[in-house]
């Protein structure tokens, strides 16, 4: 379902750019969407992982949204000055960049692979925790 929804979103973006856009750097566009796909997967898996540790009665959307925006702001702050550049290493946005610098954004396949491994591990741990809960039956 995640892949289908992301595919529809990307198709809508391409159609919108073809209809309303003038000139598009398609390699940057593809790199942004591939990096975005792995970031969304990572944050989705992080949300599922967090929910497996929290009580079902608690709303875990706040911490997940905080994780997403907090890591984005950490990356933005790290680019402001050299003294705090180390903050970027905490953020997944540092490794899967969504911003073209001087019109260039390279696809980072090694980091995409690493993000998919971390995503799979988080989902596997969450699934194992789900199986050990009382609600399974």
pLDDT tens per residue across span 107-120: 999 999 999 999 99
Write down the pTM of the prediction: 0.85
Q: Report the C-alpha gap between 5 and 125 in whole angstroms.
A: 24
* Bridge partners (DSSP) listed for residue 130: none
How much is the average pLDDT of 46-75? 87
Q: Report the C-alpha gap between 102 and 25 in whole angstroms.
A: 12
| CA-based torsion, 113, 118, 119, 125: positive or negative | positive
pLDDT, position 135: 61
Least confident of 22-36, 64-78, 123-137: 123-137
Q: Report the C-alpha gap between 73 and 33 in whole angstroms.
A: 20
């Amino acid at each position: 379902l995640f892949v289908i929804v992301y595919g529809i979103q990307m198709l809508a973006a391409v159609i919108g750019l073809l209809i309303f856009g003038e000139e598009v750097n398609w390699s940057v566009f593809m790199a942004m969407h591939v990096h975005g796909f792995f970031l969304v997967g990572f944050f989705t898996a992080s949300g599922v992982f967090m929910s497996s540790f929290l009580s079902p009665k608690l709303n875990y959307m706040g911490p997940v949204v905080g994780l997403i925006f907090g890591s984005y702001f950490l990356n933005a702050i790290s680019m402001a000055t050299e003294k705090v550049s180390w903050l970027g290493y905490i953020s997944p946005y540092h490794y899967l960049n969504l911003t073209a610098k001087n019109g260039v954004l390279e696809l980072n396949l090694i980091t995409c692979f690493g993000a998919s491994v971390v995503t799979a591990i988080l989902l596997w741990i969450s699934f194992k925790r789900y199986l050990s809960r009382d609600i399974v039956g």
